[in-house]
Amino acid sequence: MTLSEEKNGKVFVLGLGGKFDFEGAKVFGERITQILQGGERYILLDFADVTYISSAGLRGLVQAGKQLAGSGGMMVLAGVTEPVRKVFQICSLDSFFTIRPTKEESLALFPM
């Protein structure tokens, strides 16, 4: 998995790419922990380049989402491809996460 980062106002944008499998979940988990420990509370995860997600990836996302919600933060997923979106639907996680088609639509949900 590849990661890219940018800051857009108060929102920390983490771009994900490749396979969000066991190894990808490890990379994501380590980085998201650092980001949250750094005080970030508004996280946009850009899924536009994610080609696959496993149960380990889903578990990492749920943990991060719960941690953010518990601290008054917010996480939005953008650009989720159709194959990945189907996994969210099958696992009934499409109602747990806020998912928007584009990064721009996702950014509009955050307080500025």
Q: What is the mean pLDDT of the chain?
A: 95
Closest C-alpha to 74, from 4, 16, 11, 7: 11
Rounded Cα distance between 71 and 91, Å, is: 25
Task: Assess contact for 22 and 59: CB atoms under 8 A.
Answer: no
Q: Cβ distance 4 to 15 under 8 Å?
A: yes
CATH class of the structural domain 2-106: alpha beta
In percent, how much of the chain has pLDDT > 90?
95
> 37-90, pLDDT tens digit by residue?
999 999 999 999 999 999 999 999 999 999 998 889 999 999 999 999 999 999
pTM, entire model: 0.95
Q: Tell me the C-alpha distance between 46 and 15, whole Å.
A: 5
